[in-house]
Protein backbone atom coordinates (compact mmCIF):
# COMPACT_ATOMS: atom_id res chain seq x y z
CA UNK A 1 0.00 0.00 0.00
CA UNK A 2 2.83 2.42 0.82
CA UNK A 3 4.45 1.70 -2.52
CA UNK A 4 1.18 2.49 -4.28
CA UNK A 5 0.81 5.80 -2.38
CA UNK A 6 4.41 6.74 -3.23
CA UNK A 7 3.84 5.94 -6.90
CA UNK A 8 0.65 8.01 -6.93
CA UNK A 9 2.45 10.97 -5.33
CA UNK A 10 5.31 10.70 -7.82
CA UNK A 11 2.89 10.59 -10.76
CA UNK A 12 0.97 13.60 -9.42
CA UNK A 13 4.23 15.52 -8.86
CA UNK A 14 5.39 14.80 -12.41
CA UNK A 15 2.05 15.95 -13.81
CA UNK A 16 2.10 19.16 -11.76
CA UNK A 17 5.69 20.02 -12.68
CA UNK A 18 5.10 19.17 -16.33
CA UNK A 19 2.32 21.74 -16.48
CA UNK A 20 4.59 24.45 -15.11
CA UNK A 21 7.06 26.27 -17.29
CA UNK A 22 9.36 29.23 -16.94
CA UNK A 23 6.91 31.40 -18.93
CA UNK A 24 3.95 30.79 -16.60
CA UNK A 25 4.89 33.85 -14.58
CA UNK A 26 5.08 36.07 -17.67
CA UNK A 27 1.91 38.14 -18.04
CA UNK A 28 -0.13 37.52 -21.16
CA UNK A 29 -1.16 40.78 -22.83
CA UNK A 30 -4.84 40.27 -23.62
CA UNK A 31 -5.02 43.72 -25.17
CA UNK A 32 -7.41 46.52 -24.36
CA UNK A 33 -10.67 47.79 -25.79
CA UNK A 34 -10.39 51.30 -24.31
CA UNK A 35 -7.43 53.68 -24.42
CA UNK A 36 -7.52 57.11 -22.74
CA UNK A 37 -4.80 59.67 -22.24
CA UNK A 38 -4.45 63.38 -21.61
CA UNK A 39 -1.67 65.09 -23.53
CA UNK A 40 -0.40 68.51 -24.62
CA UNK A 41 0.98 70.25 -27.68
CA UNK A 42 3.80 72.75 -27.47
CA UNK A 43 4.40 73.88 -31.05
CA UNK A 44 7.12 76.10 -32.44
CA UNK A 45 6.29 79.42 -34.10
CA UNK A 46 4.28 78.90 -37.34
CA UNK A 47 4.43 75.09 -36.97
CA UNK A 48 1.57 72.62 -37.15
CA UNK A 49 2.73 70.03 -34.64
CA UNK A 50 1.37 66.61 -33.79
CA UNK A 51 1.54 63.83 -31.25
CA UNK A 52 1.79 60.37 -32.83
CA UNK A 53 0.48 57.22 -31.16
CA UNK A 54 0.86 53.62 -32.36
CA UNK A 55 -1.69 50.84 -31.98
CA UNK A 56 -2.03 47.34 -33.33
CA UNK A 57 -5.58 46.74 -34.52
CA UNK A 58 -7.13 43.51 -35.80
CA UNK A 59 -8.81 43.05 -39.16
CA UNK A 60 -12.56 43.61 -38.95
CA UNK A 61 -12.35 45.79 -35.86
CA UNK A 62 -14.59 48.82 -35.53
CA UNK A 63 -12.99 51.68 -33.63
CA UNK A 64 -14.10 55.10 -32.44
CA UNK A 65 -11.78 58.04 -31.82
CA UNK A 66 -12.60 61.13 -29.80
CA UNK A 67 -10.53 64.16 -28.85
CA UNK A 68 -12.09 66.24 -26.08
CA UNK A 69 -11.27 68.86 -23.43
CA UNK A 70 -9.28 70.84 -26.00
CA UNK A 71 -7.67 74.03 -24.73
CA UNK A 72 -5.42 76.83 -25.98
CA UNK A 73 -7.74 77.87 -28.82
CA UNK A 74 -6.49 74.77 -30.65
CA UNK A 75 -7.92 73.29 -33.83
CA UNK A 76 -7.50 69.50 -34.08
CA UNK A 77 -6.77 67.46 -37.19
CA UNK A 78 -6.35 63.67 -37.29
CA UNK A 79 -4.49 61.16 -39.41
CA UNK A 80 -4.94 57.39 -38.99
CA UNK A 81 -2.76 55.38 -41.33
CA UNK A 82 -1.25 51.91 -41.49
CA UNK A 83 2.46 51.77 -40.72
CA UNK A 84 4.20 50.68 -43.92
CA UNK A 85 7.68 51.48 -42.63
CA UNK A 86 7.10 55.22 -42.82
CA UNK A 87 4.50 57.59 -41.47
CA UNK A 88 2.01 59.36 -43.68
CA UNK A 89 0.27 56.68 -45.72
CA UNK A 90 -3.34 56.82 -46.88
CA UNK A 91 -5.53 58.26 -44.11
CA UNK A 92 -8.45 55.99 -43.16
CA UNK A 93 -10.35 59.08 -41.97
CA UNK A 94 -10.24 60.87 -45.35
CA UNK A 95 -11.14 57.92 -47.57
CA UNK A 96 -7.51 57.03 -48.31
CA UNK A 97 -6.32 60.52 -49.17
CA UNK A 98 -3.08 61.91 -47.75
CA UNK A 99 -4.85 64.84 -46.09
CA UNK A 100 -5.63 65.11 -42.38
CA UNK A 101 -9.22 64.90 -41.19
CA UNK A 102 -10.15 68.33 -39.85
CA UNK A 103 -13.71 69.58 -39.48
CA UNK A 104 -13.64 71.61 -36.28
CA UNK A 105 -13.04 75.11 -34.99
CA UNK A 106 -11.04 76.28 -31.96
CA UNK A 107 -11.44 74.09 -28.85
CA UNK A 108 -14.13 72.01 -30.56
CA UNK A 109 -14.30 68.28 -29.77
CA UNK A 110 -13.74 65.68 -32.50
CA UNK A 111 -15.60 62.38 -32.52
CA UNK A 112 -15.43 59.78 -35.29
CA UNK A 113 -17.24 56.46 -34.84
CA UNK A 114 -17.39 53.13 -36.63
CA UNK A 115 -14.00 53.24 -38.38
CA UNK A 116 -13.45 49.90 -40.13
CA UNK A 117 -10.00 48.31 -39.82
CA UNK A 118 -9.56 46.32 -43.03
CA UNK A 119 -6.28 44.61 -42.19
CA UNK A 120 -4.43 43.53 -39.08
CA UNK A 121 -1.39 45.68 -38.45
CA UNK A 122 0.24 48.61 -36.73
CA UNK A 123 -1.49 51.96 -37.22
CA UNK A 124 -0.22 55.45 -36.48
CA UNK A 125 -2.65 58.03 -35.12
CA UNK A 126 -1.50 61.64 -35.41
CA UNK A 127 -3.32 64.23 -33.31
CA UNK A 128 -2.30 67.52 -34.92
CA UNK A 129 -2.76 71.13 -33.84
CA UNK A 130 -3.33 73.29 -36.93
CA UNK A 131 -1.10 76.38 -36.70
CA UNK A 132 -3.03 78.47 -39.21
CA UNK A 133 -6.37 78.04 -37.42
CA UNK A 134 -5.22 77.81 -33.79
CA UNK A 135 -4.11 80.71 -31.61
CA UNK A 136 -0.86 80.63 -29.68
CA UNK A 137 1.65 77.82 -29.32
CA UNK A 138 0.16 75.21 -27.00
CA UNK A 139 -2.93 73.38 -25.85
CA UNK A 140 -4.20 70.29 -24.07
CA UNK A 141 -6.52 67.47 -25.09
CA UNK A 142 -7.93 64.13 -24.00
CA UNK A 143 -7.71 61.26 -26.51
CA UNK A 144 -10.03 58.25 -26.26
CA UNK A 145 -10.08 55.18 -28.51
CA UNK A 146 -12.69 52.45 -28.18
CA UNK A 147 -12.69 49.20 -30.17
CA UNK A 148 -15.13 46.31 -30.43
CA UNK A 149 -12.12 43.94 -30.34
CA UNK A 150 -8.99 44.02 -28.25
CA UNK A 151 -5.96 45.98 -29.48
CA UNK A 152 -2.53 46.81 -28.15
CA UNK A 153 -0.86 50.16 -27.60
CA UNK A 154 2.58 50.72 -29.07
CA UNK A 155 5.56 52.60 -27.75
CA UNK A 156 5.44 55.94 -25.97
CA UNK A 157 4.01 58.56 -28.33
CA UNK A 158 6.13 60.96 -30.32
CA UNK A 159 5.26 64.42 -29.03
CA UNK A 160 5.28 67.85 -30.68
CA UNK A 161 6.80 66.80 -33.98
CA UNK A 162 6.24 68.98 -37.03
CA UNK A 163 3.49 67.73 -39.34
CA UNK A 164 5.20 67.68 -42.73
CA UNK A 165 3.15 68.15 -45.92
CA UNK A 166 0.21 69.12 -43.75
CA UNK A 167 -3.14 69.67 -45.44
CA UNK A 168 -6.52 69.21 -43.81
CA UNK A 169 -9.86 68.29 -45.27
CA UNK A 170 -13.38 67.85 -43.96
CA UNK A 171 -15.07 64.78 -45.44
Any idea what the CATH number is for the domain that residue 37 is in? 2.60.120.380
Residues 50, 163: Cα–Cα separation, whole Å = 6
Which has the closest alpha carbon to 157: 136, 130, 118, 128?
A: 128
Is residue 9 one of the residues assigned to a domain?
Answer: no
Is residue 25 one of the residues assigned to a domain?
Answer: no
For residue 86, CA distances in Å to 8, 10, 34, 82, 90 come to: 60, 57, 26, 9, 11
Averaged over 63-83, what is the pLDDT?
95
Domain that holds residue 102: 32-162
Averaged over 118-139, what is the pLDDT?
94
Q: Pick the more confident residue, 24 or 114.
A: 114
Total-model pTM: 0.80
Q: What is the DSSP letter of 130?
A: -
Give 88's pLDDT tier (boundaries 50, 70, 90): low
How far from the centroid of its chain's Cα atoms is residue 35's Cα? 7
Residues 36, 59: Cα–Cα separation, whole Å = 22
Lowest-confidence region among 16-20, 87-91, 113-117: 16-20
Can you say whether the dihedral through the CA atoms of 106, 161, 149, 95 is positive or negative?
positive
The answer, yes or no, to whether residue 7 has pLDDT greater than 70, is no
Lowest-confidence region among 11-20, 132-141, 162-171: 11-20
Strand 62-68 and strand 49-57: pairing? unpaired
Tens-place pLDDT, residues 8-29 = 434 434 343 444 444 445 445 5
User: Residue 29 has what pLDDT?
Assistant: 58
Residues 136, 75: Cα–Cα separation, whole Å = 11
- 8 three-state secondary structure: helix
Contact call for residues 79 and 128 (beta carbons, < 8 A): yes
Is residue 14 one of the residues assigned to a domain?
Answer: no
Is residue 153 one of the residues assigned to a domain?
Answer: yes
The answer, yes or no, to whether residue 2 has pLDDT greater than 80, is no
Is residue 19 one of the residues assigned to a domain?
Answer: no
Is residue 100 one of the residues assigned to a domain?
Answer: yes
Other C-beta atoms within 10 Å of 89: how many? 17
Averaged over 143-161, what is the pLDDT?
91
Is residue 145 one of the residues assigned to a domain?
Answer: yes
Is residue 26 one of the residues assigned to a domain?
Answer: no
Amino acid sequence: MRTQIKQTLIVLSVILFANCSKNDDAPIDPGITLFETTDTWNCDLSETCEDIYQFEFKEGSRISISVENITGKSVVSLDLSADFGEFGGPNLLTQGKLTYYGCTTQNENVSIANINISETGIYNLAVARDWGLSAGFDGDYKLTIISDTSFTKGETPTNDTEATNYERECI
